[in-house]
Amino acid sequence: MKRTFTLLIVSFIAISLMGQSAIEKKRTEGQRAETFNILKQIIKSNADLANPFYSPNDSKQAMDSLIYEEFHEFDGGWKNDEKEEYTWDANGKEILMMRSGWMVEQVQWFNYQKTEYSYNIDGKLSVVSTQMRDTPEMEWRNEIKTEFTYQGAEGIIVIMKMWNPELSQWVEYWKFEYVFNSNGKLVEIINYYNVEDPANWLNAEKYEYFYDGDGRMVQELWLLWDTDANVWENEYKVDYSYEGNGNLINEFWSQWNITTLEWENESKADFTYDEHGNISEYIESWWEFSLGDWLVEEKVLYTYNNTFTYSDLLLPGNYSGYYYTLSAILFNHMLLTEEVFEAWDESWDEDTRTNYFYSENNSSAVELNDDGAFLAYPNPATDFFTLDLNIGSDVVLVEVFDTRGRKVLSEEIVENQPISVSYLDKGVYVYKFVFNDKAYSGKLLVQ
């Protein structure tokens, strides 16, 4: 979602890698950043799949581009820096991201990176391929390819490959294992790398996640592999706290001191929301050991168009509002701008600004049979609904999702068996089932 959040991770990386070799530092820095980039894509892809048509409107407002600007105090104010443009398919899935840099002398944008997304038969993200070029005249060259393998509902293996121009082939470089519990919550990520032997994956990092009784993530543990002792060693701990309504309000980072074997303050982030439940302000502070106190370093302000709700939007994975490993969305309406300020001499200096642009997209991800193979009734439903199945299936697993993509019902049924929805809140839902390796879904209104 936020460039600031990404920079926050990189800042932690720089500190945590003190004393490592240049090779290890480069590997771990890239690996940690990619861990969360990949995870955001997984979360967004799964949410779209689970909830393909959650808006009562037939059309969506698709984010088609963003422009990232930097503030030049003595050189005319805001200046273009980077731009991202997004392309969507007929089902409302992101299929292309084009990144451009601003050429000052030519006064125009230069496309230097493109990323293509493809999906498997179930609609899940399967391959992400990135190509680069150095000048507008050059041809695109392969850079990175990421492949996703799904192991049921409780595991995803991601292999990242780098293009070797000398061998003219892809070489496996990183592997990520994402493990989820039976409730779909992320519980562990293990990162591996290899240097020379593709079959010999070496431990690099591990992330562990813990939740409260309401299913909210309350703690992350980051561990690095000690190659000498052959054990996982603490690196960082992140604690989360929430408002009564479930909004994330504080993120507290601690770093493991290998000498005292204790956790020490590192940084914290505080979140403020407007009356519509959108994040309005983010403030980042770092612990100053010499003062024994927190120093505020950065704040981010956000603006929105409240005409459009989150369910009216098509958003790319990196800017979908998901905060890192949390499946929590930080805004409920159309994000327009985010502006970053740096603390300087007891004042706030403008630093960077991101502007988000949208256009109407009439795609629909609901795949209904034209031959009337099934019908949900009654719709709207109050106590139950029934799928009139005429597809010769003895048992079908039916799943129902709310407008945030959260699974609220999962039930195996036989033909014409009523499905209870009496405990669901009023609103729009999506039901889904799979038959003969084909996914079917539709809208359900509960009153």
Give the list of residues 6+ apart from residue 141 with CB closer than 8 angstroms, or none: 131, 132, 133, 163, 165
Average pLDDT, the chain: 80
Give the model confidence (pLDDT) of 187-237 as tens digits: 999 999 887 776 789 999 999 999 998 888 899 999 999 999 999 999 999
433 located within any domain:
yes
Residue that finishes a domain, picked among 361, 391, 424: 361
With contact defined as beta carbons under 8 Å apart, do 389 and 374 qualify? yes
Residue that finishes a domain, picked among 330, 361, 392: 361
* Partners of residue 117 on adjacent β-strands: 128
If asked whether residues 299 and 432 sit together in one domain, one would say: no
If asked whether residues 400 and 342 sit together in one domain, one would say: no
Judge whether residue 52 has pLDDT over 50: no
> In total, how many domains does the chain have?
2
What pLDDT does residue 198 have? 67
Q: What are phi and psi of 316, to 5 degrees?
A: -70, 160
Q: What is the CATH number of the domain that holds 425?
A: 2.60.40.3080
The span from the CA of 291 to the CA of 277, in Å, is: 35
If asked whether residues 234 and 160 sit together in one domain, one would say: yes
3-class state of residue 288 by DSSP = strand
367 located within any domain:
no
If asked whether residues 267 and 127 sit together in one domain, one would say: yes
The span from the CA of 182 to the CA of 187, in Å, is: 10
Residue 101's pLDDT band (cuts 50, 70, 90): very high
Percent of all residues in the chain with a pLDDT value above 90, rounded to a whole number:
44
158 located within any domain:
yes
If asked whether residues 43 and 108 sit together in one domain, one would say: yes
Residue that finishes a domain, picked among 335, 361, 387: 361
Give the model confidence (pLDDT) of 321-364 as tens digits: 555 555 456 888 999 999 999 998 889 999 999 999 998 875 54
412 located within any domain:
yes
368 located within any domain:
no
Judge whether residue 119 has pLDDT over 60: yes
Q: How many CB atoms lie within 10 A of CB 134?
A: 9
111 located within any domain:
yes
If asked whether residues 271 and 313 sit together in one domain, one would say: yes
Residue from 187, 61, 181, 46 nearest 123 by CA: 46
342: containing domain: 3-361
If asked whether residues 175 and 31 sit together in one domain, one would say: yes
> Model-level pTM?
0.72
63 located within any domain:
yes
If asked whether residues 321 and 381 sit together in one domain, one would say: no
Tell me how long the chain is.
447
If asked whether residues 381 and 320 sit together in one domain, one would say: no
Residue 94's pLDDT band (cuts 50, 70, 90): confident
The span from the CA of 337 to the CA of 343, in Å, is: 20
- Could you say which DSSP state residue 59 is in? S
Give the model confidence (pLDDT) of 166-192 as tens digits: 999 999 988 999 998 888 888 999 999
If asked whether residues 323 and 412 sit together in one domain, one would say: no
If asked whether residues 343 and 395 sit together in one domain, one would say: no
371 located within any domain:
no
